[in-house]
Amino acid sequence: MRRLEGKIAIVTGGAGGIGAATARRLTSEGATTVIADLDLERARAIAAEIGSGATAFHYDAESVDTVEALVASTVARFGRLDILLNNAAITTPQIQREDSTAVDITFETWDRVMAVNLRGYLAGCKYAIPEMLKVGGGAIINTASGSGLVGDLSRIGYGTSKAGVIALTRFIATQYGRQGVRCNAVAPGLILTEAAKESVPELIEMIQNHVLTPRLGKPEDVAAVVAFLASEDAGFINGETVVCNGGSLAHQPHSHDLAQYLEGRG
Ligand SMILES: NC(=O)c1ccc[n+]([C@@H]2O[C@H](COP(=O)([O-])OP(=O)(O)OC[C@H]3O[C@@H](n4cnc5c(N)ncnc54)[C@H](O)[C@@H]3O)[C@@H](O)[C@H]2O)c1
């Protein structure tokens, strides 16, 4: 399928698991893709692996000036911008430890999480939308998370930022949809990136018990949703959040316990 022929795309957090898979997918569908990340070395390696059609760019989502430079340099080099995937998120082990509960989280951690995960997305939209309007519209996709849909025992900043991403998506669609900008979100459940495979072995088993598919999610599953939302196949979809989690929020919270209970009764 080459639904994105001639399109210019930016993928933020493009050096990470989901971002890299999406950069590969968008490029394979014909887009020229800018892989933007804090980790320039890794972004360059992924761009080199993809080959012609992909380039790397260094930016920091926490610094809005660099987000502006990312959009400006993309347009200066390729002449236009059609697709933006806002996808970078702060996932360092230190932040994961410190982003805890309402009582324990520091305001510093909260502010950093919001700056990267939410303000960074707003900045992407703020600078990309005028460029998209110049060419009659475009597609923005924001990576949210299941953590933005339900509560959890830790990561209050992360979950709140992702709920904000879902709201941001609806506001952008409402404010610019009639001028041709479609803005949708994808909300992944646990996706087995290389990092996720290493960091949460016990959690993976717990989550597996609640997924309604025989396997867990892979970065390519999210990439496929993004490519669809970026394409004209999704031309009448705006302001939506597509949940990509194997159905893990689609059932009664007690379904797994009930299945075990019924099994135990024979
Ligand atoms: N993997 C999952 O299970 C999962 C589930 C739900 C949502 N998500 C979301 O998917 C997106 C991608 O996650 P992933 O699993 O690929 O994570 P990842 O850690 O592999 O990738 C994140 C990327 O963002 C980059 N980044 C971090 N801070 C940055 C900054 N300040 N400026 C620019 N780039 C920065 C990192 O260098 C990294 O390449 C994130 O928004 C995440 O919240 C992931």
| 137-185: pLDDT as tens digits | 999 999 999 999 999 999 999 999 999 999 999 999 999 999 999 999 9
SS3 103: coil
Question: Per-residue confidence at 266, pLDDT binned at 50, 70, 90?
Answer: confident
Spacing, Cα 222 to ligand 1 middle (Å) = 12
In a domain, 31, yes or no: yes
Decide if 25 is inside a domain: yes
> Which residues form the domain of 38?
8-264
The rounded mean pLDDT for the chain is 97
153: domain CATH number is: 3.40.50.720
89 lines ligand 1 (CB under 6 A): yes
pLDDT in tens, 224-254: 999 999 999 999 999 999 999 999 999 999 9
Whether 242 is covered by a domain: the verdict is yes
Spatial contact of 111 and 98, defined as CB atoms under 8 Å apart: no
- Distance in angstroms (rounded) separating the CA atoms of residues 13 and 202: 26
Q: How confident is the model at residue 81 (pLDDT cuts 50, 70, 90)?
A: very high
Tokens of residue 133, six digits: 């309007």
Which tokens sit at 157?
């900043």
Nearest-CA neighbor of 11 among 77, 75, 88, 65? 88
**Domain annotation covers residue 175:** yes
Is pTM beyond 0.95? Reply is: yes
Burial (Cβ within 10 Å: 0-12, 13-18, ≥19) of residue 104: exposed
**pLDDT at residue 198, rounded to an integer:** 79
pLDDT at 201: 80
CB distance 217 to ligand 1 below 6 Å: no
Q: How many domains does the chain have?
A: 1
Nearest protein CA to atom 25 of ligand 1, as residue = 13
Position 3 in a domain: no
Q: Give the strand pairing for 181-188 and 54-58.
A: unpaired
* Ligand 1 contacts CB of residue 55 (under 6 A): no
Catalytic residues: 158
2 lies in some domain: no
Residue 120 inside a domain? The answer is: yes
The 10s digit of each residue's pLDDT in 180-228 is 999 999 999 999 998 888 777 888 888 899 999 999 999 999 999 999 9
In a domain, 199, yes or no: yes
CA dist., res. 228 & res. 225, Å (int): 5
Element (H, E) at 138: strand 138-143
